[in-house]
């Protein structure tokens, strides 16, 4: 009996410390679970959107009725600007139309983000979704009213329009998309070369 109990004890300890006895894999060998590509896209979008909105609230609170704040001399300043138009303040009289286009862009972005199969595309789509949504929130909720609201901009560089975090997200997404397209990576993660081999 003592020998049987000892054998049982040894077997129990081995099963707890060595992992799966049928494969020999240990717990440390198990692959870590990662976010799926669609989940990553929406997490990136949520975080970037939150940063955009928080910085805009701070900008309105701290920079209203103030002269530009020099961060790095005249190379980088903080100056509050309310933009009724699109990029580069273009289309100031078309704010309602710009808002409608932004709504469509958000819907399209959500569609593709929910179906993305590559993590690089997921990050790019998440940033794009955050950027478009961030500026759309301003147009919907800020003065002078829904679909006519002015976007809060506050980063200023020499010889460049004043911009915000949402604009930075859109630009970063564009760079990521260009790199992925140059590398021939599709939205689902496949490559153009692989598709060509399958078709030949």
Classify residue 158 by its DSSP letter: T
For residues 19 and 57, state if they share a domain.
no
**CA 154 – CA 165 distance, rounded (Å):** 9
Question: What percent of the chain lies above the pLDDT cut of 70?
Answer: 78
Cα torsion 7, 12, 16, 17 to 10°: value is: -10
Give the distance from CA 163 to its chain's centroid. 18
Q: Which of 17-21, 66-70, 181-185 has the lowest mean pLDDT?
A: 17-21
pLDDT of residue 4: 43
User: How far does CA 13 lie from the centroid of its chain?
Assistant: 46
- What pLDDT digit, counting tens, does each position of 41-62 carry? 999 999 999 999 999 999 999 9
One domain for residues 106 and 10: no
Catalytic residue among 20, 29, 167, 199: 167
Same domain? For 108 and 182 the reply is yes
Taking phi over 0 as left and psi of -120 to 50 as alpha, with beta for the rest, 191 belongs to beta
Provide the number of structural domains found in the chain.
Answer: 2
**Which ranges constitute the DSSP H helices of the chain?**
2-17, 37-63, 95-113, 119-141, 165-182, 192-199
For residue 167, give its domain range.
Answer: 37-199
Kindly state whether residues 154 and 104 are assigned to the same domain: yes
Catalytic residue among 20, 29, 52, 153: 153
Q: Is 20 a catalytic residue?
A: no
* Sign, CA torsion 114/53/101/162: negative
Task: Give per-residue pLDDT as tens, 136-158.
Answer: 999 999 999 999 999 999 999 99
Is residue 138 among the annotated active site residues?
A: no
Residues 79 and 161 in one domain: yes
Provide the β-strand partners of residue 78: 69, 155
């Amino acid at each position: 009996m003592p020998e049987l109990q000892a054998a049982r004890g040894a077997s129990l300890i081995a099963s707890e410390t060595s992992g799966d006895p049928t494969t020999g894999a240990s717990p440390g060998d198990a692959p870590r679970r990662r976010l799926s590509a669609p989940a990553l896209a929406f997490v990136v979008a949520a975080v970037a959107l939150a940063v955009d909105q928080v910085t805009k609230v701070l900008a309105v609170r701290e920079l209203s009725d103030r002269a530009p704040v020099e961060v790095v001399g005249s190379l980088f300043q903080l100056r509050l600007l309310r933009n009724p138009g699109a990029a580069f303040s273009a289309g100031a009289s078309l704010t309602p139309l710009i808002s409608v286009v932004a709504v469509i862009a958000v819907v399209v972005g959500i569609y593709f983000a929910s179906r993305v199969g590559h993590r690089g595309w997921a990050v790019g789509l998440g940033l794009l979704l955050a950027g478009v949504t961030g500026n759309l929130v301003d147009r919907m909720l800020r003065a002078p009213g829904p679909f006519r609201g002015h976007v809060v901009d506050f980063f200023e560089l020499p010889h460049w329009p004043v911009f915000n975090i949402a604009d930075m997200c859109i630009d970063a997404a564009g760079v990521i998309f260009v790199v992925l397209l140059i590398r021939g990576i599709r939205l689902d993660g496949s490559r153009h070369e692989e598709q060509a081999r399958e078709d030949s």
